[in-house]
Amino acid sequence: MAATDVDVFSNEEKRSLSLGGHVGFDSLPHQLVSKSVTQGFCFNILCVGETGIGKSTLMNTLFNTMFENEEASHYQNGVYLRPRTYDLQESNVHLKLTIVDTVGFGDQINKEDSYRPIVDYIDTQFENYLQEELKIKRSLFNYHDTRIHICLYFISPTGHSLKSLDLVTMKKLDSKVNIIPIIAKADTISKSELHKFKIKIMSELVSNGVQIYQFPTDDEAVTEINSSMNAHLPFAVVGSIEEVKVGNKMVRARQYPWGVVQVENESHCDFVKLREMLIRVNMEDLREQTHARHYELYRRCKLEEMGFKDTDPDSQPFSLQETYEAKRKEFLSDLQRKEEEMRQMFVNKVKETEAELKEKERELHDKFEQLKRMHQEEKRKVEEKRRDLEEEMNAFNRRKVAAETLSLSQPLKKDKDKKN
């Protein structure tokens, strides 16, 4: 029904009227803003980069706070993702910030599967949201949105080009999340090397068809700054939470024997640009893009996989509910059939085993009979032998007695002979 209503509206002529006085609906944006402020905002950052490249330090520097973080070891067996959620507040704005870390990325000798846990994590967050959306009783306004709004990809400052792992990973992620590539630990690259490095990276990304996040240039308020920032990608950043005295101020910096690298000095690194773009200007746009583009793509693919279509062969709009019902029936009948099959198999197996057991029983019985007969045979033989033996013994005894009596009479004679 809703579809036909909209059609009616767009076919009608829209007439613009002029107002005779101040009505007051120009306060709508303010109402929206105050509603969102009361609700609070949520933002999810995914940091992808090798162990020790400076992910945690950069997060601390960006949000000017110490998120608790243990140093990761290089000897993990695989890559796993570690999400941590924090509640931050600035003025009267609440931010539920989730930082997801990739632990063990780039450490294994064989990195062919390194990208997989990351892709799986992103998909899982989309899936959870989709499940919530499809629920009968849903509370989207209350739902803690864990979908990743931005992926910061930390590039190692080799000065030559991207690493092969970087290319492979970014290609897998570019259709699922907004990617902003950044050059980490940029205080090891000199200005001229940096210029060449940035050009090389961007050209490699373009020639391999990797889609990174472009700051939006369609809103006049931010067009200028965004388009100039787009030209500075990838941002070369330096992070630090330690403060060093420069002039008469304490600034966040890194102290070397040959000089001090100031984090917020724009001629030293692009940290300020990153903070500006990521937090101060485009945070809301990142959330929108995630929902309107990446999530919608995921949802479409997922539902198509399940067999849903928007229109059937006759070009009549399908209702989601009907398709769902049909699928469910199909599934249930499938299930029943499988159950039947399994039951049959089970019964057959039982019959077989029974037959086997019977056979074995018979064999055992036969063997028993045989053994019994053998035993009896043996017994008989032994009996015979015993009788023979007894007879022999008797015969022997008789002979013995006879010999004894003979010998008894003999020695008398002998003695007599001896005496003589």
Partner 1 sequence: QSDKEYVGFATLPNQVHRKSVKKGFDFTLLVAGESGLGKSTLVNSLFLTDLHKDRKLLNAEERINQTVEITKHTVDIEEKGVKLKLTIVDTPGFGDAVNNTECWKPITDYIDQQFEQYFRDESGLNRKNIQDNRVHCCLYFIPPFGHGLRPVDVQFMKALMEKVNVVPLISKADCLTPGEMKKMKDRVREETDKYGLKVYQFPDCDSDEDEEFKQQDRELKESTPFAVIGSNTVVEARGQRVRGRLYPWGIVEVENPSHCDFVKLRNMLIRTHMHDLKDITCDVHYENYRAQCIQQMTSKLTQDNRVESPIPILPLSTPDVETEKLIKMKDEELRRMQEMLQKMQQQMHEQDL
Closer to partner 1 by Cβ: residue 163 or 299: 163
Closer to partner 1 by Cβ: residue 53 or 180: 53
Which residue in the set 86, 88, 95, 108 belongs to the binding site for partner 1 (CB under 8 A)?
A: 108
DSSP state of 279: I
What would the two tokens of residue 98 be? Answer: 């989730």
Closer to partner 1 by Cβ: residue 107 or 145: 107
Where does this chain touch partner 1 (CB under 8 A) — which range of 30-38, 67-75, 131-139, 218-226? 67-75
Which residue in the set 9, 25, 141, 256 belongs to the binding site for partner 1 (CB under 8 A)?
A: 256
What would the two tokens of residue 239 be? Answer: 């992070």
CA distance 408 to 413: 9
96 makes contact with partner 1 (CB under 8 A): no
CA distances from residue 221 to 128, 249, 282 in whole angstroms, order as listed:
35, 33, 12
Where does this chain touch partner 1 (CB under 8 A) — which range of 39-47, 110-118, 320-328, 361-369? 110-118
Closer to partner 1 by Cβ: residue 29 or 257: 257
Block residue for tokens 């399994």: 342
CB 101 within 8 A of CB 55: yes
Where does this chain touch partner 1 (CB under 8 A) — which range of 12-20, 55-63, 255-263, 346-354? 255-263
CA distance 340 to 410: 103
Residues 17-56, interacting with partner 1 (CB under 8 A): 50-54
CA distance 259 to 133: 55
259 makes contact with partner 1 (CB under 8 A): yes
247 makes contact with partner 1 (CB under 8 A): no
Q: Which residue type occupies 244?
A: V
Task: Fill in the per-residue mask, 316 to 355: x = in contact with partner 1 (CB under 8 A), - = not in contact.
Answer: ----------------------------------------
- Residue 291: CB partners within 8 Å, gap ≥ 6? 147
Where does this chain touch partner 1 (CB under 8 A) — which range of 30-38, 201-209, 219-227, 302-310? 201-209
Which residue in the set 4, 139, 267, 420 belongs to the binding site for partner 1 (CB under 8 A)?
A: 267
Give the binding-site size for partner 1 (rule: CB under 8 A): 50
User: Pairing mode, if any, of strands 41-48 and 93-103?
Assistant: parallel
- In 3D space, the residue among 229, 238, 178, 244 whose CA is nearest the CA of residue 44 turns out to be 178
188 makes contact with partner 1 (CB under 8 A): yes
CB 44 within 8 A of CB 146: yes
Can you tell me whether residue 265 is helix, strand or coil?
A: coil
Closer to partner 1 by Cβ: residue 151 or 261: 261
Where does this chain touch partner 1 (CB under 8 A) — which range of 18-26, 57-65, 152-160, 305-313? 152-160
CB 169 within 8 A of CB 118: yes
Q: Residue 358's CB: how many other CB atoms inside 10 A?
A: 10
Where along the sequence are the contacts to partner 1 (CB under 8 A)?
Answer: 50-54, 71-75, 107-112, 114, 156-168, 184-185, 187-188, 190-191, 204, 207-208, 254-262, 267-268
